[in-house]
Amino acid sequence: MSLCLSLALVVSSFVPGLEEATDQPILLRPARLIDGVDSELRTGWVVLVRGAKIEAVGPAHAVVVPENTRTIDLPDTTLLPGLIDAHTHVLLHPYNETLWDDQVLKEPLALRVSRANNHLRAILDSGFTTIRDLGTEGAGYADVGLKQAVEQKIIPGPRMIVTTRAIVATGSYAPRGFAPELKIPQGAEEADGVDLPRVVRDQIGRGADWVKIYADQWDPVTGGKATFSIAELRTVVETATALGCPVVAHAMTREGMRRAAEAGVRTIEHGDQGDAEIFALMKQKDVALCPTLAAAEAMELYKGYKIGQTPEPAGLTLKRKSFKAAMDAGVRIVNGSDMGVFAHGTGARELELMVEYGMPAAKALQAATSEAAKALGLETRTGSIRPGLQADLIAVEGDPVQQISAIRKIRLVLKQGQLVLDRGASHKKSE
Ligand SMILES: [Zn+2]
């Protein structure tokens, strides 16, 4: 027993990302810095990290560097807050590898969790230090355990907000198309009417940080039909918020979006059929949008779409249009990609598409940092480079404001002051 324990300790000390943050202060010296809040690109600035937190940020001459500080020079890089993806599924993997139905019905839970371990590492290494994982899709409450494994430093991964099983109206979700007399396990928990408070409380009791509800029937092609009544959605919001948990709604249709916004959800996911009127309502109610552009593109790629070679599919033209309408209405747009539909570790695609669809790169970076933190209620912990916040920081090669795809070129990742990825940064101790 004691031998196993000591071996485990030896092994874990060799897994990057699992070391304890040391008390030795770290000084980061990038070429440029973007603080996540405004659009200014600062040169000659440094960040001092002590323990898990940012202690100071400013022009190099203005930051007092303690003795015994470890300096990390990051020439040619831009330092940013750790990125946030507000819509992931770590228990899914791309549907062109295995169809969603088969993942839900045929993959053992242990297989799914094993994959998820790798997904979390890939997400962290790609610069995302926080995720909100929006449903295990048939894997029960496995997200709660994965979150604990990350927090206990058993596996490396981003900070996680979890939702467990998510809630769907009876008969509205999937897998479907089986003989009607068969009872097929579903990718989320069915509940309706008077049963909703019990299910909300049950999911929260089992570890959900947020409650996710599907305001539409699941249909990736048509968007489906609105399911729950406003009264039902209000019941969910009231029950969850009384327990300190905000509510997130999947909604692709206008009516689903309208009911969810009226009922008081905090974010709406997808929003494909949103228009000026719906987005004005969201703006008025301060409901944020996670557009999930990258997942929509991935679904079309799986069906044969070839970027730049075949005509843009109607679904993506609609995405482009609704994204622009949301921007025009001033809705808070948050980086949420639906990663899992496509490969974990490639979440940068969502930012590239936001820019391609008309958002300035500096705004897209804010959507993945300070704006996402605000929408998730994490702004006092992460999402910007400010003294007192957690030291979630990434350095990327080049300048992502000039070329957004620079965020794919990760040089360094710091999560809560802990160096979890270091690709060739040069180190030296200060005098
Ligand atoms: Zn999703």
| pLDDT tens digit sequence for 52-90 | 999 999 999 999 999 999 999 999 999 999 999 999 999
Task: Check residue 219 and give its pLDDT.
Answer: 84
Please indicate, yes or no, whether residues 53 and 146 belong to a single structural domain of this protein. Answer: no
For residue 11, being part of any structural domain is answered with: no
Angle (nearest 5°) at CA 419 between 414 and 424: 100
For residue 391, being part of any structural domain is answered with: no
282's CB contacts (< 8 A; 6+ apart) are 257, 261, 268, 274, 288, 289, 326, 329, 331
> Collapsing DSSP states into helix, strand and coil, what is residue 18?
coil
Residue 180 sits in a domain whose CATH number is 3.20.20.140
89 CA to middle of ligand 1, Å?
6
Q: Tokens representing 118? A: 């790798």
Residue 61 sits in a domain whose CATH number is 2.30.40.10
Q: What is the pLDDT of residues 372-431, one digit of tens each?
A: 999 999 999 999 999 999 999 999 999 999 999 999 999 999 999 999 999 976 554 443
Asked if residue 2 has pLDDT above 50, the reply is no
Type of residue at 148: Q
> pTM of this prediction?
0.95
Exposed, middle or buried, 303 (CB in 10 Å: 0-12/13-18/19+)?
exposed
295 CA to middle of ligand 1, Å?
9
The total number of structural domains that make up the chain: 2
Q: CA 149 to CA 158: how far, in whole Å? A: 11
For residue 228, being part of any structural domain is answered with: yes
- Residue 330's domain comprises 83-376
Task: Check residue 16 and give its pLDDT.
Answer: 65
Q: CA 55 to CA 388: how far, in whole Å? A: 6
Q: What is the pLDDT of residues 151-196, one digit of tens each?
A: 999 999 999 999 999 999 999 999 999 999 999 999 999 999 999 9
Angle (nearest 5°) at CA 333 between 330 and 337: 155
Q: What is the mean pLDDT of residues 109-128?
A: 98
Please indicate, yes or no, whether residues 209 and 283 belong to a single structural domain of this protein. Answer: yes
C-alpha to C-alpha distances, 177 to 135, 181, 355, 371, nearest whole angstrom: 22, 11, 38, 40
Band of the pLDDT at 112, cuts 50, 70, 90?
A: very high
Q: Are 285 and 261 in contact (CB under 8 A)?
A: yes
Closest by CA position to 271, among listed 208, 188, 332, 312: 332
77 CA to middle of ligand 1, Å?
32
93 CA to middle of ligand 1, Å?
12
Q: What is the pLDDT of residues 270-292, one digit of tens each?
A: 999 999 999 999 999 999 999 99
C-alpha to C-alpha distances, 121 to 129, 154, 168, nearest whole angstrom: 10, 12, 30
360 CA to middle of ligand 1, Å?
25
For residue 311, being part of any structural domain is answered with: yes
For residue 279, being part of any structural domain is answered with: yes
For residue 54, being part of any structural domain is answered with: yes
For residue 7, being part of any structural domain is answered with: no
223 CA to middle of ligand 1, Å?
13
Please indicate, yes or no, whether residues 242 and 317 belong to a single structural domain of this protein. Answer: yes
Asked if residue 22 has pLDDT above 90, the reply is no
Please indicate, yes or no, whether residues 105 and 185 belong to a single structural domain of this protein. Answer: yes
Question: E-assigned strands of 113-270?
Answer: 128-133, 159-162, 167-168, 189-190, 211-214, 247-251, 267-270
Task: Check residue 18 and give its pLDDT.
Answer: 75
Selected residue with higher pLDDT from 248 and 3: 248
Please indicate, yes or no, whether residues 32 and 121 belong to a single structural domain of this protein. Answer: no
Q: CA 295 to CA 221: how far, in whole Å? A: 13
Angle (nearest 5°) at CA 408 between 29 and 22: 45
381 CA to middle of ligand 1, Å?
25
Please indicate, yes or no, whether residues 212 and 241 belong to a single structural domain of this protein. Answer: yes
Band of the pLDDT at 202, cuts 50, 70, 90?
A: very high
248 CA to middle of ligand 1, Å?
11
Please indicate, yes or no, whether residues 308 and 274 belong to a single structural domain of this protein. Answer: yes
277 CA to middle of ligand 1, Å?
24
Q: What is the pLDDT of residues 205-228, one digit of tens each?
A: 999 999 999 999 988 778 899 999
Task: Check residue 20 and give its pLDDT.
Answer: 67
Please indicate, yes or no, whether residues 206 and 75 belong to a single structural domain of this protein. Answer: no
C-alpha to C-alpha distances, 204 to 46, 233, 274, nearest whole angstrom: 41, 16, 30
337 CA to middle of ligand 1, Å?
8
Q: What is the mean pLDDT of residues 292-316?
A: 97
Task: Check residue 218 and give its pLDDT.
Answer: 85
For residue 8, being part of any structural domain is answered with: no
10 CA to middle of ligand 1, Å?
37
Please indicate, yes or no, whether residues 191 and 275 belong to a single structural domain of this protein. Answer: yes
Task: Check residue 392 and give its pLDDT.
Answer: 98
Q: What is the mean pLDDT of the chain?
A: 94
Please indicate, yes or no, whether residues 226 and 265 belong to a single structural domain of this protein. Answer: yes
Task: Check residue 3 and give its pLDDT.
Answer: 45
31 CA to middle of ligand 1, Å?
36
Task: Check residue 9 and give its pLDDT.
Answer: 43
Q: Tokens representing 263? A: 């009922």
CA of residue 97 relative to chain centroid, distance: 22
Question: E-assigned strands of 89-229?
Answer: 128-133, 159-162, 167-168, 189-190, 211-214
Exposed, middle or buried, 105 (CB in 10 Å: 0-12/13-18/19+)?
middle
Q: What is the pLDDT of residues 326-356, one digit of tens each?
A: 999 999 999 999 999 999 999 999 999 999 9
- Cα-based torsion angle of the residue sequence 376, 158, 94, 270 in order, rounded to the nearest 10 degrees: 10
Q: Are 113 and 91 in contact (CB under 8 A)?
A: yes
Please indicate, yes or no, whether residues 142 and 276 belong to a single structural domain of this protein. Answer: yes
- Cα-based torsion angle of the residue sequence 237, 274, 250, 211 in order, rounded to the nearest 10 degrees: -30
212 CA to middle of ligand 1, Å?
10
Please indicate, yes or no, whether residues 30 and 148 belong to a single structural domain of this protein. Answer: no
Residue 399 CB neighbours (<10 A) = 17
Q: CA 271 to CA 373: how far, in whole Å? A: 20
Which residues make up the environment of ion ligand 1, defined by Cβ < 5 Å? 134, 338
Angle between helices 276-285 and 314-329 (to 10 degrees): 50
Task: Check residue 424 and give its pLDDT.
Answer: 76
Closest by CA position to 261, among listed 276, 273, 279, 244: 279
